[in-house]
């Protein structure tokens, strides 16, 4: 069965709740499509107003992070039940900015993955190499490790419905998109890694996005690649351009 594309916006730390409502209303007609799942991953405080604004549209509102404990003394964190209680289905886990600035590791990402599945949330698990790693030729070793640790104890059925976002760190927010060949090569290798951990059917089912300076001009070339099932979009998700990315065909 052909995989349905999934095109997600990652708003990062942008948009106040009132700005979020305006942006959702503005983008709503532009991102209407049946060909792809469209997800806006927004700051926690924007989730409820964004959801209200998205009502009646094809937009799913997702979260950018969550904690791996059920509840308790974890000041400032958001629990999975808080997300599911308001109808969130997708959560970005292990974004490189979380790894870099908030000390997340593949081990904590794995804990979050397991907790997300326990609550019926679909993770969008991010992985990707630094420029130094690419130059040293260790890109695939590094990403395989991120994927293997991230998916530790995740069942094949859970993996099959997961989303992985391949985001080379050097391409994030830099305007420097990976070439189509580079993006396809790594996404294919990630799929092979999933086949090794699980089986061919799981590898054929899992959706793998590319992220890193995706824009309306680069999306069509990227999204036709056989192993690229959509994108995780930062900067361009805050603009009408996102409508063009979603309707890339
Ligand atoms: P960018 O961000 O599209 O602004 O490069 C992508 C991301 O970090 O998810």
What is the per-residue pLDDT across 167-201, written as a single tens digit (0 to 9) for each?
999 999 888 888 999 999 999 999 999 999 999 99
**Which atom in ligand 1 lies closest to the alpha carbon of residue 174?**
5
**Portion of the chain with pLDDT greater than 70, in percent:** 100
Asked if 167 is an active-site residue, the reply is: yes
Whether pLDDT at 36 is above 70? yes
Answer whether 79 contacts ligand 1 (Cβ < 6 A).
Answer: no
Answer whether 49 contacts ligand 1 (Cβ < 6 A).
Answer: no
Asked if 25 is an active-site residue, the reply is: no
Nearest CA to ligand 1 atom 7: 234
**Which atom in ligand 1 lies closest to the alpha carbon of residue 92?**
9
What is the per-residue pLDDT across 47-66, written as a single tens digit (0 to 9) for each?
999 999 999 999 999 999 99
pTM confidence score:
0.97
Domains of the chain in sequence order: 5-246 (3.20.20.70)
**Portion of the chain with pLDDT greater than 90, in percent:** 97
**Counting runs of H as helices and runs of E as strands, what totals does the chain give?**
12, 8
The string of DSSP letters for 32-87 reads --SSEEEEEEE-GGGHHHHHHHHTTSSEEEEES---SSSSSS-TT---HHHHHHTT
Whether pLDDT at 230 is above 70? yes
What is the per-residue pLDDT across 115-148, written as a single tens digit (0 to 9) for each?
999 999 999 999 999 999 999 999 999 999 999 9
Point out the catalytic residue in the list 64, 97, 129, 167: 167
Answer whether 53 contacts ligand 1 (Cβ < 6 A).
Answer: no
pLDDT of amino acid 61: 98
Answer whether 43 contacts ligand 1 (Cβ < 6 A).
Answer: no
pLDDT of amino acid 177: 81
pLDDT of amino acid 1: 63
Assess contact for 141 and 190: CB atoms under 8 A.
no
pLDDT of amino acid 10: 98
């Amino acid at each position: 069965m052909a995989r349905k594309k999934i095109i997600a916006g990652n708003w990062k730390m942008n948009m106040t709740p009132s700005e979020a409502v305006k942006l959702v209303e503005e983008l709503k007609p532009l991102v209407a499509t049946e060909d792809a799942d469209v997800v806006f991953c927004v700051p926690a405080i924007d989730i409820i107003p964004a959801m209200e604004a998205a009502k009646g549209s094809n937009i799913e509102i997702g979260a950018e992070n969550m904690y791996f404990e059920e509840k308790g003394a974890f000041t400032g964190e958001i629990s999975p039940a808080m997300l599911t209680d308001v109808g969130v289905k997708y959560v970005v886990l292990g974004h490189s900015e979380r790894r870099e600035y908030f000390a997340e590791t593949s081990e904590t990402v794995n804990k979050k993955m397991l907790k997300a599945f326990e609550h019926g949330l679909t993770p969008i698990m991010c992985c990707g190499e630094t420029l130094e790693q690419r130059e040293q030729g260790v890109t695939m070793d590094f990403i395989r490790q991120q994927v293997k640790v991230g998916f530790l104890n995740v069942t094949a059925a859970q993996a099959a419905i997961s989303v992985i976002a391949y985001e080379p760190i050097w391409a994030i927010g830099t305007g420097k998109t990976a070439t189509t060949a580079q993006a396809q090569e790594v996404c294919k290798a990630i799929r092979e890694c999933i086949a090794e951990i699980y089986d061919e059917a799981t590898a054929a089912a899992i959706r793998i996005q590319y992220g890193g300076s995706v824009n309306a001009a680069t999306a069509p070339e990227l999204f036709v690649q056989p192993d690229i099932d959509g994108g995780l979009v930062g900067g361009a998700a805050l603009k009408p351009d996102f409508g063009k990315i979603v309707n890339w065909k």
